[in-house]
Amino acid sequence: MTRRFATYAPGAALLACVVLLTAGASGQTPAAAVPKWKGPNGPIDLKLQDPVLVGALDLHAHLDPDMSGGGQVPRAMDAVDMARMAKARGMRGFAYKTHMDVSSAASAYLARKAVPGVEVFGRFALNLTTGGLNPAAVMQFTSIKGGWGRIVEMPTRDARVPQNDGRPWVTPWAALFPGLPRSVPTARDGELLPEARAIIALVATIKTTDSNGTVVLATGHATPEEHVLLAREGRRLGVPVLLTHPGDNVTDAQYRDVKALGAFVEVNADFYQERDDPEEKIAFAVKQIQRLGAESIVMGTDCGQHDNPLPADCLALAARALRARGVTDRQLDLMVKENPARLLGLPPPASSRATASR
């Protein structure tokens, strides 16, 4: 019997994204042009330059080698090509996220070797293919040579949330292999499961092999309640926490709670993803900046797939769109350069130190 995975196939229409070609460094006086970011075989490199890229750390890039992930969208470039792009645009580095395995830590080691000077990190999620809430997978990820596996994420593709149920192109593993669970839960009846607590306790004790790095907990495709529970437990155990792109279903009170707990909130720059409304995404990003303050936000791209601009272009386009809506360069530097470095326990980027001294 042939087993088929459901896949996402973009429509024929090509989404146009606004590029502010004549904007100055502040982006306040734009003139609009609308080149298409996608060619017949995936996104094209727009080769955009922008001050936001210099020293940037993108902590949410989807790259090959990888399976097509929670959205079943193929990747447009691999980790080495991304490292070359990052170096050419002046980026400090990026974290490469895999939904299905721990290989991003190994790929980070190889990408660093292939492109010296770019800081590449791994990020992986605790889905069924890594054994669910599996401490052995966490140990393996953080012990791979180099110690560049730095972000451990709670379930994404296999999380028990409405976000996943609303994705008809994602085939649950249980539908393919009867007997497997449909999802990997992290909480029940308002409490974290013991297995989830054990993962956070383990993360709190780990320093990565070779690099002696701190490990970050990302909350995954969590419910609003789970985001808060994970942030609270992370705070209790001294684990840095990143809320994975939470949405408007999280209440203002819950956002206040996670901010008070010292967690960072991820806001992604994938405004021009083919199946989404750019204006809606931009408006939500602005709302998050106003609600939380840039000091509590990490902006990654969530790009690298076939239905998004390439990550460096994605970040440049997002910065220009946000500047046009009143977001300052200082706020962008916090979200894209300083906060990601702080989350990972790295020194602040030189460009931000220079900006702060002026």
Q: How many residues does the chain have?
A: 358
Q: Would the pLDDT of 288 be above 80?
A: yes
The radius of gyration computed from the CA coordinates of the chain, to the nearest angstrom, equals 19
Tokens of 350: 């030189």
- Distances in Å between the Cα of 357 and the Cα atoms of 26, 97, 351 are 18, 34, 10
Q: Does residue 20 lie in a domain region?
A: no
Q: Does residue 37 lie in a domain region?
A: no
Q: Does residue 30 lie in a domain region?
A: no
Report the domain count for the chain: 1
Q: Would the pLDDT of 351 be above 90?
A: no
Helix (H, G, I), strand (E, B) or coil at 82: helix
Q: Would the pLDDT of 124 be above 80?
A: yes
| C-alpha of 98 from chain center | 10
pLDDT in tens, 166-193: 566 577 788 888 999 989 999 999 999 9
Spatial distance between the Cα atoms of 293 and 297, rounded to a whole number of angstroms = 7
pLDDT average, residue stretch 200-221: 98
Decide: residue 167, CB within 10 A, 0-12 exposed, 13-18 middle, 19+ buried: middle
Interaxial angle between packed helices 224-237 and 252-260, expressed in degrees from 0 to 180 and rounded to the nearest 10: 10
Spatial distance between the Cα atoms of 12 and 190, rounded to a whole number of angstroms = 44
Q: What is the model's pLDDT at position 165?
A: 58
- The residue that leads in pLDDT, 72 or 165, is 72
Spatial distance between the Cα atoms of 71 and 156, rounded to a whole number of angstroms = 10
Q: What is the model's pLDDT at position 168?
A: 61
Provide long-range contacts, Cβ within 8 A and 24+ apart, for 344-349: 344/57, 344/59, 344/121, 344/150, 344/213, 344/214, 344/216, 344/240, 345/213, 345/214, 345/240, 346/57, 346/119, 349/55, 349/57, 349/92
DSSP code for 102? S
Q: Does residue 42 lie in a domain region?
A: no
Decide: 271 and 318 in contact? Cβ < 8 Å: yes
- The CATH number of the domain where 290 resides is what? 3.20.20.140
Decide: 216 and 344 in contact? Cβ < 8 Å: yes
Q: What is the model's pLDDT at position 4?
A: 34
Range of the domain at 279: 55-345
How many C-alpha atoms does 100 have within 13 Å on its Cβ side?
12
Q: Would the pLDDT of 106 be above 60?
A: yes
Q: What is the model's pLDDT at position 37?
A: 85
Q: Does residue 117 lie in a domain region?
A: yes
Spatial distance between the Cα atoms of 94 and 63, rounded to a whole number of angstroms = 11
pLDDT average, residue stretch 226-254: 98
Tokens of 94: 């990026």
pLDDT in tens, 145-173: 999 999 999 999 999 875 555 566 577 78
**Token pair 């046009």 is at which residue?**
324
Q: Does residue 357 lie in a domain region?
A: no
Spatial distance between the Cα atoms of 242 and 266, rounded to a whole number of angstroms = 7
Q: Does residue 233 lie in a domain region?
A: yes
Interaxial angle between packed helices 194-205 and 224-237, expressed in degrees from 0 to 180 and rounded to the nearest 10: 40
pLDDT average, residue stretch 302-325: 96
Q: What is the model's pLDDT at position 39?
A: 81
Q: Which of 135, 106, 136, 100 is nearest to 121 (CA)?
A: 106
Q: Does residue 260 lie in a domain region?
A: yes
pLDDT in tens, 251-280: 999 999 999 999 999 999 999 998 889 999
